[in-house]
Every structure is written in structure tokens, then in C-alpha cells.
Amino acid sequence: MLEVINLALPFFGLIFLGLGCGKFKAIPDAGLAWMDFFILYVALPALFYRIVAQTPLEQLANPRFIVGTMLATFSAFAVSFAIGMVIRRGQMAEATIAGLAGGYGNIGYMGPGLALATLGSEATAPVASYSVSTTSCCFHSCHS
């Protein structure tokens, strides 16, 4: 248990550091848009490209793993969406955001880093495969 805390603490430390900075100096939402763009369109793709480029295709193309993780992600989306519908009294747009937060939250930010730190280099192919497939589906659902 202590090992998990030691791995997760730096991630949460950065989150709380950001929260503290946000309380100290109010930054408008428009000012944070560059960070979202950088993380989603520059940093994560570069990380996954490096991982995918070094991984044999047969390790990445594991249909059972991809289908299983996609079903798990969809289940998290469905549960979060249903809870959002109840809490927001049928407001579809807000429930959809809740669903995306539930389904995408673990892969978009802390998930890859924690998985790689915890499981080591043997986790690179599953993390890359899951990240690429989940991100593709979530982004496609946002832009459809």
C-alpha cells in the first residue's frame, strides 16, 4: 500500500499545487485553454507515439484486450451518464459531460503515468493500446 501512495503522491501533489496556485492567483478559463491544448494535442500524442513506435504491432493489436478495456470504459461512461441524468434532472448535455468525465478521466490525465510507474516497461503496449483506442472513441464522440 505504501508503494501505491508513493507513486500517486507526486501526481496529487501537482494537482494540489495547481489548486493552490489557482486560489492564489485567479486565472481565467481562457488562460488555461493553452494547457489543455498542450496536454491533449502535444504531450500525450508524443508520449504515445514514442511508445507505439517502439512496440511490435502484435503487442498493440490484441483484440480481446482492446474490446475488454473499451467495454469497461463504456460501462464507466454509462454509469456516470446515468448518475448525471438523475442528478441534473434529465439535462442531456450536462449528463454527457459527466459520462465523459467518468469514462475518460482515468486515461486522459493520471492513468498512463501511474500505470507506467506502477507496472514498469511491460505495461507500455497495453497502456498505449488502451490510450489510443479510448482517446479515439472519446474524441470522436465529442466531435460527432
Overall average pLDDT of the 68-97 stretch: 89
pLDDT at 83: 95
What is the rounded average pLDDT for all residues in the chain? 79
pLDDT surpassing 60 at residue 25:
yes
Model confidence pLDDT, tens digit, residues 26-64: 777 777 787 778 877 787 778 777 777 877 777 777 888
pLDDT surpassing 90 at residue 8:
no
pLDDT at 33: 80
Kindly report the three-state secondary structure assignment for every residue of the chain.
CHHHHHHHHHHHHHHHHHHHHHHHCCCCHHHHHHHHHHHHHHHHHHHHHHHHHCCCHHHHCCHHHHHHHHHHHHHHHHHHHHHHHHHCCCCHHHHHHHHHHHHHHHHHHHHHHHHHHHHHHHHHHHHHHHHHHHHHHHHHHHHC
